[in-house]
Structure 1
Amino acid sequence: MNEESLELRETADVSIRTWADAYLERIGAARPARCDAAALRDLQLRHLMTVPFENLAIHAGEDIVLDDERLIEKIVTDRRGGFCYELNGAFAALLSALGFRVTLLQARIFGDGGKLGIPYDHMALRVETDDGTGPWLADVGFGDHAVQPLLLEDRTEQEDPIGVFRFRPAPHGDLDLLRGGSRQFRLDLRPRALADFRAGCWYHRTSPDSYFTGSLVCSRRTGNGRVTLSGRTLITTVRGERHETELDTDAEVLAAYRDHFGLRVAALPEVRRFPNA
């Protein structure tokens, strides 16, 4: 390696360390000493508790670009959240920068009546660690989902703080993920690239049939439950007990975005009208 190539490599390494450390600061995590299962669990939990699952960009008419740099800028620099493609896409970049081996996987979500959604309906992550455990399914983009990574090759029940999960074989080598016996999504184990999810992302931000275009949602995990802002309704769940509060004024709604999710929204988000919606 010549001197110029070495200098470029050192510059790239510094750049990765800089944004990765800023990302870790965003989620309140220290750089792990080892890429093991304990570190993965800690990073996933901290991500869930600090970076909200939200679809405000869709209703604000903002472009959503599935590119590592743009995703990291949105979550780290702009201190926003996003939906699955954004959250798991950015989390995958962070894990890879830290030394975890990450593969993007596509999944189809089970809807009403057990009907499967579109291909690339959801993005999840296959993560390999350095301690001989796993591989793990990591996911910070499925709303009220498992708090801990799940063992992908385990077919028994896996206990999690929010319930019991289990993988069940599905056709064509896929896996169905069940929570308490209810099917959540069907996971395709073939490796994917970030660009593969563009069509699914476009569908969910433009189609009147998508559950993201019909309402506003902002939600994150808390230490003892979950907090969600759905339109003007603030929903808090504490140790399984649900409370709803209707926010009467625009100022109360804006304050809820700021105080519960760290989002400083300039104008009150409103549901955008989509053709045929």
Structure 2
Amino acid sequence: MDTAGTDAYLDRIGARRPASPDAEALRALHLSHLRTVPFENLSIHLGEEIVLAEQPLLDKIVGARRGGFCYELNGAFAMLLGALGYDVELLSARVFGPDGQLGIPYDHLALRVRTTHGPWLADVGFGRHSHFPLRWDSRAEQTDPAGEFRIEETAEGDLDVLRNGSPQYRLEQRPRAYPDFEVGCWWNRTSPKSHFTRSLVCSRLTETGRITLSGRTLVTSTLDGGREERSLRADEVLAAYREHFGIVLDREPVVGGAGPSQTGTGAQGHRSEFRSG
């Protein structure tokens, strides 16, 4: 990513270029990203191609002011961090489903970011998750506005990430490259068993909680557990995307309305990646 692209990305998330790639700046960038770039799977239901490469990602997230799935969000965030001087590695994870079973390999993409203050787990692509990076080398409870998080080692050498005592996903510690994720991405983007081929979500963090548009249901939740749900009329949906997420669409995305694109790679869609508040 060149200087102009980096500056445009920072402007997109409302962040300043950090003086140095340190842990404090990483925390600020992480939170800014979550509050400005929504977690969404609209492309699947609009029949849009999703390509995991630098320019298409920047065109979508920065140019078109859209969001995306874990592969898009964490992939783009890794590019930004790399351009700012951070040491970033892409990691593969398998997500725990509601039945406690693990999803397919390469189910999720997360980031290990090394700073002078140690390594961190950064993840701006898991929907309802930690607001700030988690300390990679700590096995203690880590308090975050989104709950209590803990990283546990498994017998096989992987790491389980838990939120409020519930396992979220299992990380492999071996660094990966983008092409390693393509088969898993394709399955999640096209399989009828994929949660996100069967559902529609757009969500972002706010200063007071989270706002989510799932189909025509608008949910506003607060950090203290408050929740307000409202059903929108058909003529209110596009305005809601603009107002709450900055997304300008010419038509309403509908589950099954376009069908998943068969070209490109991306679109994470496993059944439990997003856990709406």
Same fold by TM-score greater than 0.5? yes
- Partner of residue 88 from structure 1, selected from 74, 87, 92: 74
- Tell me: higher relative CO, structure 1 or 2? Use CA pairs within 8 A at least 6 residues apart: 2
- 1:119-138 map, 5 Å: 119-129=105-115, 132-138=116-122
What whole-Å deviation, never above 9, does each CA across 1:8-41 have from its counterpart, x for those lacking one?
Answer: xxxxxxx710000000000000000011111000
- Partner of residue 247 from structure 1, selected from 224, 227, 232: 232
- Partner of residue 229 from structure 1, selected from 206, 213, 217: 213
- Partner of residue 39 from structure 1, selected from 11, 18, 25: 25
Q: How far off its partner does 1:222 sit? A: 0.1
Counterpart position of 2:131: 147
Distance 2:246 2:184 in 1: 28
Alignment of 1:158 with 2:142, yes or no, is: yes
Give the TM-score normalised by the residue count of structure 2.
0.91
- 1:68-83 map, 5 Å: 68-83=54-69
- Partner of residue 101 from structure 1, selected from 79, 83, 87: 87
Name the aligned partner's letter for residue 231 of structure 2: E
What whole-Å deviation, never above 9, does each CA across 1:143-185 have from its counterpart, x for those lacking one?
Answer: 0000000011101100101100001111321000011110000
Distance 1:102 1:58 in 2: 28
Look at both structures and tell me which one has the larger radius of gyration over its CA atoms: 1
Query: 5+ unaligned residues in a row in structure 2: which ranges?
Result: 261-277
- 1:12-31 map, 5 Å: 16-31=2-17
What whole-Å deviation, never above 9, does each CA across 1:91-144 have from its counterpart, x for those lacking one?
Answer: 000000000000000000000221000001000000011xx3220000000000
Query: 5+ unaligned residues in a row in structure 1: which ranges?
Result: 1-14
Give the TM-score normalised by the residue count of structure 1.
0.91
- Across the two proteins, how many residue pairs are aligned to each other? 258
Secondary structure of residue in 2 paired with 1:135: strand
Distance 1:26 1:37 in 2: 21
Distance 1:94 1:172 in 2: 32
Name the aligned partner's letter for residue 108 of structure 1: R
The answer to whether the 8 A contact 1:60-1:272 is kept is no
The answer to whether the 8 A contact 1:106-1:119 is kept is yes
- 4+ aligned runs moved over 6 Å, structure 1: none
**Which segment drifts farther, 227-236 or 56-65?**
56-65
Alignment of 1:185 with 2:169, yes or no, is: yes
Distance 2:121 2:213 in 1: 27
The answer to whether the 8 A contact 1:26-1:76 is kept is yes
The answer to whether the 8 A contact 1:224-1:238 is kept is yes
Distance 2:92 2:143 in 1: 24
Aligned Cα RMSD in Å? Answer: 1.2
Percent identity over paired residues: 62
Q: How far off its partner does 1:67 sit? A: 0.8
Distance 1:87 1:50 in 2: 11
